[in-house]
């Protein structure tokens, strides 16, 4: 009785919001998607092993062709990419979907299951999770139970959600509102190196009206999430110099210049007490309008909860709240080293001191421009800047020497909040799930496919489909079963709702 009521209630909710999805068929589809995911995960997917990638492409080809896609392996300077497309119909807008099928490398000894490529079903228990037999699902699918295995969440789960949404659309005879192109990356976890140049080579093929990336977790609140961009990154390595070789701190303390103090004074000159970069121009070009600030404030982060979780009293003050802070580039000391610390410490004046910096970028702050600002600031502090270890001649010539190593720039990308495809996704997710999605203007982290996104020059959105606590990149990666239902519903409605 109670059960029937719930089903009726659920069905009525579905009919109110967005495309109505037959709840019984949906449940069957979720059940099917679990089977599909187990089969897909069973194919190891470590891009360090090219055979893994071939095996996955072989499987994907079969799955996509079975559903009526044309497929292709796109050769690159490294491993191939997988491409699939539905026969194109004129007059329809085209969506390009990006997902990846490779997973992080595994160390089975660190997992709570014998084989990370054999999915294990678990339910929450007092001690965390306990294993459940898959047969239990035949009785009832519990959406809080989880599927543990490498790449279940990152990022094979979303591919499975997509394929099952297609199945359901086809079963229900739904018309697709878009031409669909799918590009699947086999090296995302290893940095997606080939994709940036491949996009130039295959630009025609990949041409679309907008890009939808299904990778990464939803907001930790579990609410529908739509992401408009990701910060970029570049790094700098700064090394100051003391005496040649470590010297006895008794003989030369007070005489030989100390590279640690030099470095400390330099770093101290770059930021104020509250974490704001004081180098002129660092934040130039960033202007947050009231409407943007409103959207940032709507993200249901509780800054106190973040501080409590990370155990600090007060956050830095680059922004006045967490989402605002992410709209700015960072200047982070990710590493320091000089001589030895702890039990290894020796009584020396160290020969050098190194600070490793990472600079997270936003679209307004070009990485090369920021690095130049930092270099100019360093020069202003009286340092002679080198790109190599100083020679004896240079050491005798300059009082303060620094060598700077720079690595490349991965740009940020960010699509305007006010965009017809973005609005379409917001509306469709709202209608599908009964509440407005959380709109993340820019994520703090960097995705390796940023160059790919920027090269395409089309509006791009991340539509994350997996639970935030999925242990991405760690042992015991997992996907909540409820996310399969979420993803199938999301794809079902996005792909079949007409662009308004």
Q: Measuring CA to CA, how many Å separate 6 from each of 9, 12, 23, 294, 343?
A: 5, 10, 11, 36, 63
* Three-state SS at 151: coil
Q: Which of 207, 347, 423, 474 binds its own copies (CB under 8 A)?
A: 347
User: Which residues within the stretch 162-221 sit at the binding site for its own copies (CB under 8 A)?
Assistant: none
493 is an interface residue for its own copies by CB under 8 A: no
Cβ atoms 158, 483 nearer than 8 A: no
CB of 318 to its own copies, least distance (A): 4
310 is an interface residue for its own copies by CB under 8 A: yes
Alpha-carbon distance of 233 to 224, in angstroms, equals 27
Beta strands (DSSP E) in 10-139 are 70-74, 81-85, 94-100, 120-125, 128-132
Using the minimum distance from each CB to its own copies, give the nearer residue, 151 or 362.
362
Where does this chain touch its own copies (CB under 8 A) — which range of 8-16, 202-210, 211-219, 333-341?
Answer: 333-341
Q: What is the DSSP code (8-state) at residue 144?
A: T
275 is an interface residue for its own copies by CB under 8 A: yes
Where does this chain touch its own copies (CB under 8 A) — which range of 20-28, 130-138, 196-204, 258-266?
Answer: 258-266
User: Which residues within the stretch 146-165 sit at the binding site for its own copies (CB under 8 A)?
Assistant: none
User: Which residues within the stretch 438-467 sit at the binding site for its own copies (CB under 8 A)?
Assistant: 443-446
500 is an interface residue for its own copies by CB under 8 A: no
Cβ atoms 274, 317 nearer than 8 A: yes
CA angle 19, 23, 29 (to 5 degrees): 100
Rg over CA atoms, the chain: 26
Q: Measuring CA to CA, how many Å separate 367 from each of 118, 284, 319, 330?
A: 42, 13, 20, 11
Q: Which of 93, 222, 281, 319 binds its own copies (CB under 8 A)?
A: 319
278 is an interface residue for its own copies by CB under 8 A: no
List all residues 6 or more positions away from 291 whose beta carbon is below 8 Å from its beta carbon: 417
Alpha-carbon distance of 496 to 169, in angstroms, equals 8
User: Which residues within the stretch 387-416 sit at the binding site for its own copies (CB under 8 A)?
Assistant: 392, 395-399
380 is an interface residue for its own copies by CB under 8 A: no
Where does this chain touch its own copies (CB under 8 A) — which range of 14-22, 113-121, 201-209, 242-250?
Answer: 242-250
CB of 170 to its own copies, least distance (A): 39
287 is an interface residue for its own copies by CB under 8 A: no
Q: At what angle do helices 23-41 and 157-171 cross, to 10 degrees?
A: 140
370 is an interface residue for its own copies by CB under 8 A: no
- Count interface residues toward its own copies (CB under 8 A): 84
Tokens standing for residue 113? 């299951």
Alpha-carbon distance of 350 to 247, in angstroms, equals 7
337 is an interface residue for its own copies by CB under 8 A: yes
CB of 227 to its own copies, least distance (A): 13
346 is an interface residue for its own copies by CB under 8 A: yes
CB of 273 to its own copies, least distance (A): 7
Report the candidate in 358, 373, 368, 355 with the shortest Cα–Cα distance to residue 444. 358
CB of 332 to its own copies, least distance (A): 4
Where does this chain touch its own copies (CB under 8 A) — which range of 82-90, 154-162, 348-356, 416-424?
Answer: 348-356
Q: Which of 249, 419, 427, 430 binds its own copies (CB under 8 A)?
A: 249
User: Which residues within the stretch 222-241 sit at the binding site for its own copies (CB under 8 A)?
Assistant: 231, 233, 235, 237, 241
Using the minimum distance from each CB to its own copies, give the nearer residue, 266 or 429.
266
**Contacts of range 57-63, beta carbons closer than 8 Å, 24 or more positions apart:** 57/82, 57/186, 60/84, 60/101, 60/159, 60/184, 63/36, 63/163
Where does this chain touch its own copies (CB under 8 A) — which range of 80-88, 204-212, 322-330, 488-496?
Answer: 322-330
Residue 155: cis peptide before it, omega within 30 degrees of 0: yes
7 is an interface residue for its own copies by CB under 8 A: no
253 is an interface residue for its own copies by CB under 8 A: yes
């Amino acid at each position: 009785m109670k059960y029937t009521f719930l089903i009726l209630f659920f069905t009525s909710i579905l009919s109110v919001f967005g495309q109505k999805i037959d709840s019984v068929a949906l449940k069957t589809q979720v059940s099917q998607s679990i089977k599909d995911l187990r089969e897909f995960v069973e194919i190891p997917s470590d891009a360090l092993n090219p055979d893994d990638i071939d095996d996955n492409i072989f499987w994907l080809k079969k799955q996509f062709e079975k559903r009526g896609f044309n497929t292709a392996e796109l050769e690159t300077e490294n491993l191939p990419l997988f491409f699939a497309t539905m026969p194109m119909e004129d007059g329809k807008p085209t969506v390009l979907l990006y997902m990846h099928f490779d997973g992080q490398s595994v160390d089975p000894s660190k997992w709570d299951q014998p084989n990370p490529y054999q999915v294990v079903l678990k339910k929450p228990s007092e001690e965390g999770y306990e294993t459940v037999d898959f047969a239990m699902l035949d009785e009832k699918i519990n959406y809080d139970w989880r599927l543990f295995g490498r790449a279940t969440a990152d990022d094979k789960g979303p591919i499975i959600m997509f394929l099952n949404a297609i199945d359901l659309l086809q079963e229900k005879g739904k018309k697709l509102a878009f031409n669909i192109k799918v590009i699947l990356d086999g090296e995302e976890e290893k940095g997606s190196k080939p994709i940036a140049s491949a996009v130039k080579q295959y630009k025609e093929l990949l041409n679309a009206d907008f890009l939808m990336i299904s990778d990464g977790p939803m907001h930790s609140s579990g609410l529908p999430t739509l992401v408009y961009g990701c910060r970029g990154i570049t790094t700098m390595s700064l090394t100051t110099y003391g005496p040649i070789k470590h010297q006895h701190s008794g003989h030369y303390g007070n005489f030989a210049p100390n590279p640690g103090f030099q470095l400390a004074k330099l770093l101290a000159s770059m930021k104020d007490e509250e974490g704001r970069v004081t180098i002129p121009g660092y934040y130039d070009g960033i202007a947050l309008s009231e409407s943007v600030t409103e959207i940032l404030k709507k993200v249901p982060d509780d800054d106190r909860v973040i501080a409590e979780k990370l155990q600090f009293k007060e956050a830095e003050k680059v922004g006045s709240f967490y989402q605002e802070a992410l709209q700015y580039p960072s200047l982070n000391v990710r590493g320091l080293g000089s001589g030895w610390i702890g039990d290894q410490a020796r009584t020396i004046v160290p020969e050098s001191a190194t600070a490793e910096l990472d600079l997270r970028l936003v679209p307004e702050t070009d990485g090369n421009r920021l690095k130049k600002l930092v270099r100019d600031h360093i020069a202003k502090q009286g340092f002679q800047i080198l790109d190599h270890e100083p020679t004896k001649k240079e050491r005798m010539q300059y009082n303060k020497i620094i060598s700077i190593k720079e690595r490349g720039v991965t740009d940020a990308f960010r699509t305007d909040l006010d965009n017809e495809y973005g609005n379409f996704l917001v509306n469709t997710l709202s209608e599908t799930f009964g509440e407005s999605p959380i709109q993340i203007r820019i994520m703090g982290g960097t995705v390796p496919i940023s160059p790919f996104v920027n090269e395409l020059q089309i509006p791009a959105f991340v539509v994350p489909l997996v639970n935030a606590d999925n242990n991405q990149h760690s042992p015991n990666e997992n996907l909540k079963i409820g996310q399969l239902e979420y993803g199938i519903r999301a794809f079902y409605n996005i792909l079949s709702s007409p662009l308004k």
